[in-house]
Structure 1
């Protein structure tokens, strides 16, 4: 069974069409596996954001590639991110950098409706204010 890190690395590689082993390719599985799980999660959140801008047919093609590679479906990864956002939203605050990047990523794509986007912007603003 693949670890969370392996799954996310393969997903990021598929989204960024990066399967070569060039040492300069930051999105290659080899380079991603060298990073921390937190950095891989951040890259996966970025990849999810990119996916939200894809057409439905592109998303379905990516979903098929993911299933062929033994990965969870794109839709389940998007749903997982949305569920995590709802937890943060219900709590009313962002606790750490990982949550900040998740909310930031989701706030800029079509996964959230207008009401959730407004909530995301409020959460981001509240998190950033004490830091400035």
Structure 2
């Protein structure tokens, strides 16, 4: 089972630019599990080396890990959507909606004063 999980994870990186075909539930699940473990270990190691590595190099490493992880996960998501009979474009709908929510949170002004969730954090810091 461990070898299947590792092979599923490696397959995700071998097919990082492959958006055709299908992926099974177990392949996708194993990929996500190993991906989470590897990401946790990678970032733990990187951030424990922050006093050794220059911040620019650390930032570059984090960015490279993020981009490769994003691309591998995106291609696996597309192939998994194909397996359930859906278009891979659903991934982009999700990304657009997530981006819209983030942008909305950045540009919408806060409610003045206190609301049901507590006092205004800007007045607390003064």
Instruction: Provide the TM-score with structure 1 as the length reference.
Output: 0.28
Greater RCO (CA < 8 Å, at least 6 residues apart): 2
Which structure is larger by alpha-carbon Rg, 1 or 2? 2
Instruction: Provide the TM-score with structure 2 as the length reference.
Output: 0.29
